Amino acid sequence: MGSGLQPERARHVAIIMDGNGRWAKKRALPRAVGHQRGVEAVRRLVRSLAGTGLECLTLYAFSSENWKRPDEEVDDLMNLMRRFIKSDLPEFIENKVKLKIIGDWQSLAPDIVAMLEDALAQTADGTQTLAVALNYGGQHEIARAAAKAAAQAAADGGEISIETIAAHLDTADLPPLDLLIRTSGEVRLSNFLLWQAAYAEMLFVDTLWPDFEPAHLARALDDFARRERRYGGR
């Protein structure tokens, strides 16, 4: 680094997990198989968290726009979620992974909400956070946070500011976002962590999500450490 600054360690990484459908299409397989392989990629990554030094990994699992997909695909995704929670919760607890859910997840099916609430309670003492965005949209999150900040300002006579809005975001208790990765070669944010990404580093990779390995994350973290973050300065 030209300035002589020490490499910065990433505390919080977020990933837009894109490419399940294209992975399946390339292999003439149903999209559901691509989603299943995508869950396996999540599992591999979560198992590798202890060796990354990360405090938080945030994954974009289901956006508020994903409801527009065919009913059969949405049902497949919801059933995958149910199976993943049931099968992996004991491993989360054993590996001290703390689960956090962001987005309007409480409007999901009642049985999924109950499973998530149980998982949140059972993993509350974890030391590394896995934040999962479910029924999430960045614009909606900002609107909700701004409305809460306005109500707070009206109640206590304060001002609506960057700080008061940030305090009401779903991620308010997480470290600032350092690095946002998107797989599959697409170069857009897709309404994900729009506020949080204001000064995050970005990395867009061609790898389809089911092929994403812990080694890819390790290389991304090495790349991040070589970047000089300026936050609008010189």
- Residues annotated as part of the active site: 18, 66
With contact defined as beta carbons under 8 Å apart, do 122 and 89 qualify?
yes
d(CA 215, CA 52): 10
Contact 77, 66 (CB under 8 A): yes
Sheet of 128-136: strand order equals 97-102, 128-136, 56-63, 12-16, 179-182, 201-204
Q: Which of 182, 233, 234, 188 is nearest to 209 (CA)?
A: 182
Please report which helix (H) or strand (E) contains residue 86, including its range.
helix 71-94
